[in-house]
Amino acid sequence: MKKKITVHEVLNYIPNEKLDFFARETLVDWNAKKLQGKELFKLCIFGILNENRASSRVFESFYESHFFCKHAHIPKGKKVSHSSICERIGKINVDYFESLYYYTVGTFREKLNKKDRNKLCLYDSTITSLSALLLGFGMQNGQKNKKGEQGKHSIKFTIGFDGLPFKVKFHRDQKMISDIPALSDILQEHVPSKKDIAVFDRGMQDRLTMKKLSDGGKYFVTRIYKASKYDVVEGSHQTELDYENGNIKLDRHSLVHLYKNGKKMKGVVFRLLEGTLKADGERILFLSNLPEEGFTAEQIAEIYRNRWEIEKFFRFIKQELNFKHYFSRQWNGIQVMVYIILIASILLLTYIKLNQLKGYKIPKISFCNALQNEMIENIVIHCGGDPNKISSYYS
């Protein structure tokens, strides 16, 4: 039986040495009087994991607890107010947390991804909103009030996910309210590799982006709207399909040219799969540039079905890690907290996958309980006791 990974091992993949290294690199503690970057990072990670409704006041209470102080090596008697925490999050150098995020991504992707398998890079966006009276910037999204005023301001986050959230883009400009520019932006950075397949939904309609992906040797799978215009490549052979799974039935595979602004794009050929949704009979079109010799039409449909994993990830971070809550109403602070939430999600996802657990909520509770038990054992040892006797206390 494979040995389970402990919470201690997971947390130690982000060692204090790295926290200190990035602090020096980014000068995050320059002119800082109370709360160092390393302390704030550990405090926010601890607070987000242990409290679904985390806030600066919750962080303040954790900072005063013996459990956290021992875990984060906080000097005895040191205190910090919730207002100081909030102010520090809003002004601290975001580069520190960005560096930690991409270090964490690199460290854990290497441990989780199997190099001999095709890797699906799922791309999608999610939006969070706050009253325009509280948030002074962002995109206008939703209905206006009776006075004709915009009731809410929104921030969009576009994420790349391959089992871990490996990339994030922040958007607050109105032009990014559409998924077309937001997804086009992140897809420009997709890795050109036969093992890395970009998967995105039909909200990304830009034909030029699809052409650039193909020209750059970047493979993708997506859906297009049933009203999309295309022509079957002259002289090509259309293949009738007889494939179905629990959701769809495929009936035709073709090689096609797409249209952009009314003009046929002859320079690139795509594969088009036509079918119907079994639930309501709606017509469905899949588009890809994957080579025919390596991927069947059925495999392309199955690849797209995996896109649901990023939707599950968004639901996970919103429900379990407070992603939809604004800890800070400053642009800098919002980015800081998103990086921290994504790092927390990577720690949990790694714990879940390496221990072969299912779901998110119960493993998160298990993670936090294990962390607390480890702290108790350390306290017992420090007090001269035997931590092995803890289990007998409950018998």
Q: What does the pLDDT look like over 116-158, one tens digit per residue?
A: 566 899 999 999 998 888 898 999 876 666 666 667 899 999 9
What's the total number of domains in the chain?
Answer: 2
Q: Say what the pLDDT of residue 351 is.
A: 94
Domain end marker among 306, 340, 370: 306
Average pLDDT over residues 309-319: 95
Residue pLDDT, tens place only, 12-33: 999 999 999 999 999 999 988 7
Using a 10 angstrom Cβ sphere, with 0-12 exposed, 13-18 middle and 19 or more buried, the burial of residue 149 is exposed
End-to-end Cα spacing for the chain: 27
Last residue of a domain, one of 275, 306, 337: 306
Token readout for 368 is 């936090």
Query: Is residue 363 located within the same domain as residue 274?
Result: no
Find tokens 């309501």 and name the residue. 280
Band the pLDDT of 392: cuts 50, 70, 90. Answer: low
Least confident of 92-106, 144-158, 272-286: 144-158
Is residue 136 domain-resident?
no
157 occurs within a structural domain: no
Domain end call among 280, 306, 332: 306
* Alpha carbon separation from 359 to 70, 180, 193, 307, 350 (Å, rounded): 30, 31, 31, 17, 13
> Is residue 174 included in any domain, yes or no?
no
238 and 266 co-located in one domain? yes
Q: Is 346 a residue whose pLDDT tops 80?
A: yes
Tokens 């580069």 sit on residue? 95
pLDDT band at 364 (very low <50, low <70, confident <90, very high): very high
**Predicted local distance difference test score (pLDDT) of residue 390:** 60
Dihedral in degrees, nearest 10, Cα atoms 326, 331, 337, 342: 110
**Band of pLDDT at residue 387, cut at 50, 70 and 90:** low
Percentage of the chain surpassing pLDDT 90? Answer: 61
Is residue 352 one of the residues assigned to a domain? yes
**pLDDT score for 393:** 54
Q: Is the pLDDT of residue 357 over 80?
A: yes
Q: How far apart are CA 123 and CA 161, in angstroms?
A: 6
* Residue at 195 is within a domain: no
Do 354 and 302 share a domain, yes or no? no
Average pLDDT over residues 265-289: 92
**What digits encode the pLDDT tens for the residues 203-232?**
999 999 999 999 999 999 999 999 999 999
Q: Is the pLDDT of residue 83 over 70?
A: yes
User: 251 and 342 in one domain?
Assistant: no
Same domain, 262 and 211: yes
Q: Which residue range forms the structural domain that includes residue 224?
A: 202-306
Contact present, 338 and 157 (Cβ < 8 Å) = yes
293 within some domain: yes
One domain for residues 295 and 364: no
